[in-house]
Structure 1
Amino acid sequence: MNVGALLIILLLVMALLGVPICFAMGIATLAALILGDMPVIVLAQKTFTGMDSVALLAIPFFMIAGNLMSGSINKKLIAFADATIGWVRGSLAIVSVISSAIFAAISGSGVATVSAIGGNMIPAMKKDGYPGGFAAAVCSVAAILGPIIPPSIFLIVYGNATETSIGQLFMGAVFPGIGLALVLVAYVFLYSRKHNFPAHEKSTPKQIARVTIDSIWALVMPILVLGTIFLGICTATEAAAVTCAYALFVGLFIYKDLRPKDLVSIFAESGVTTATILILIGFSKVSSWVVVASGLPDALVQGMLSITSNKFVILFLINILLFIVGMLMDANPAIVMLTPLLLPLIKELGVSTIHFGVVMALNLCIGLVTPPVGTCILLGKTISGESLESTLKAALPMIGLSIAFLMVVTYVPALTTWLPSVLSN
Structure 2
Amino acid sequence: MNAGLIVFLLLVVLSFLGVPIFLAIAIATMVALTSAGFPMETIVQKTFLGLNSSSLLAIPLFIFAGNAMSYGITQRLLNVADAFLGRVRGSLGAVTIVASGLFGAISGSGVATVSAIGGMTIPAMIDSGYDKNYAAACASSASLLGPLVPPSITLIVYASLTEVSVQKLFLATALPAIVLLVAFLAYALYYGKKHDLPTQPKKSGKEIASTLKESLLALLMPVIVLGSIFSGICTVTEAAAISAIYAVLVNMVVYREMNWKVLKDVLYESAISVASIMIMVGMSKASAYVVIASQLPQLFMNFVTSITSNVVVVLIIINIILLILGCMMDGTAIVVMMVPLMLSLVTAMNINLIHFGIVVALNIYIGMITPPVGITLLVGTKIAKTGVGSVFRSCLPFMMISLILLLIVTYVPSFSLLLPNLLG
TM-score (norm 1): 0.98
Q: Does structure 1 residue 154 correspond to structure 2 residue 126?
A: no
Instruction: Give 1:405 shift.
Output: 1.2
Q: Which residue of 1 aligns with 2:19?
A: 19
- The letter of the residue matching 2:90 is G
State how far apart, in whole Å, the 1-side matches of 2:318 and 2:183 are: 24
Deviations 1:236-259 (CA, angstroms, capped at 9, x unpaired): 000000010000000001111001
Q: Which residue of 2 aligns with 1:122?
A: 122
Q: Which residue of 2 aligns with 1:94?
A: 94
Instruction: Give 1:182 shift.
Output: 1.1
Q: Which residue of 1 aligns with 2:230?
A: 230
Q: Which residue of 1 aligns with 2:111?
A: 111
Uncovered stretches (5+) of structure 2, i.e. residues with no partner: none
State how far apart, in whole Å, the 2-side matches of 1:5 and 1:187 are: 43
Q: Which residue of 2 aligns with 1:42?
A: 42
Deviations 1:84-110 (CA, angstroms, capped at 9, x unpaired): 111111111000000000000010000
Bigger drift between 384-393 and 248-257 goes to: 384-393
Instruction: Give 1:308 shift.
Output: 0.9
Q: Which residue of 1 aligns with 2:290?
A: 290
State how far apart, in whole Å, the 2-side matches of 1:326 and 1:152 are: 17
State how far apart, in whole Å, the 2-side matches of 1:203 and 1:351 are: 50
Q: How does 1:55-204 map to 2 (within 5 A)?
A: 55-204=55-204
Q: How does 1:201-280 map to 2 (within 5 A)?
A: 201-280=201-280
State how far apart, in whole Å, the 2-side matches of 1:50 and 1:155 are: 15
Bigger drift between 55-64 and 298-307 goes to: 298-307
State how far apart, in whole Å, the 2-side matches of 1:365 and 1:102 are: 17
State how far apart, in whole Å, the 1-side matches of 2:349 and 2:186 are: 34
State how far apart, in whole Å, the 1-side matches of 2:8 and 2:38 are: 16
Instruction: Give 1:80 shift.
Output: 0.5
Q: How does 1:349-364 map to 2 (within 5 A)?
A: 349-364=349-364
- The letter of the residue matching 1:143 is S
State how far apart, in whole Å, the 2-side matches of 1:148 and 1:124 are: 25
Instruction: Give 1:71 shift.
Output: 2.2
State how far apart, in whole Å, the 2-side matches of 1:390 and 1:136 are: 10
User: What SS is found at the alignment partner of 2:327?
Assistant: helix
User: What SS is found at the alignment partner of 1:146?
Assistant: helix
Deviations 1:43-68 (CA, angstroms, capped at 9, x unpaired): 11110010011000001100110000
Instruction: Give 1:315 shift.
Output: 0.5
State how far apart, in whole Å, the 1-side matches of 2:49 and 2:295 are: 22
Q: Which residue of 2 aligns with 1:341?
A: 341
Alignment size in residue pairs: 424
User: What SS is found at the alignment partner of 2:147?
Assistant: coil
State how far apart, in whole Å, the 1-side matches of 2:322 and 2:380 are: 23
Instruction: Give 1:263 shift.
Output: 1.2
State how far apart, in whole Å, the 1-side matches of 2:320 and 2:228 are: 36
Identity of aligned residues (%): 46
- The letter of the residue matching 2:166 is I
- The letter of the residue matching 1:115 is S
State how far apart, in whole Å, the 2-side matches of 1:96 and 1:308 are: 43
Instruction: Give 1:421 shift.
Output: 1.6
Deviations 1:294-350 (CA, angstroms, capped at 9, x unpaired): 111111111111111111111011001000011111100110110101111111111
Deviations 1:347-371 (CA, angstroms, capped at 9, x unpaired): 1111111111111111101111111
Instruction: Give 1:416 shift.
Output: 1.5
Instruction: Give 1:372 shift.
Output: 0.9
- The letter of the residue matching 1:90 is G
State how far apart, in whole Å, the 2-side matches of 1:255 and 1:338 are: 44
Instruction: Give 1:204 shift.
Output: 1.7
Q: Which residue of 2 aligns with 1:415?
A: 415
Instruction: Give 1:145 shift.
Output: 1.0
- The letter of the residue matching 2:344 is P
Q: Which residue of 1 aligns with 2:328?
A: 328
State how far apart, in whole Å, the 1-side matches of 2:276 and 2:389 are: 31
Q: Which residue of 2 aligns with 1:312?
A: 312
User: What SS is found at the alignment partner of 1:129?
Assistant: coil
State how far apart, in whole Å, the 1-side matches of 2:213 and 2:291 are: 54
Instruction: Give 1:373 shift.
Output: 0.5
> Cα RMSD between the aligned structures?
0.9
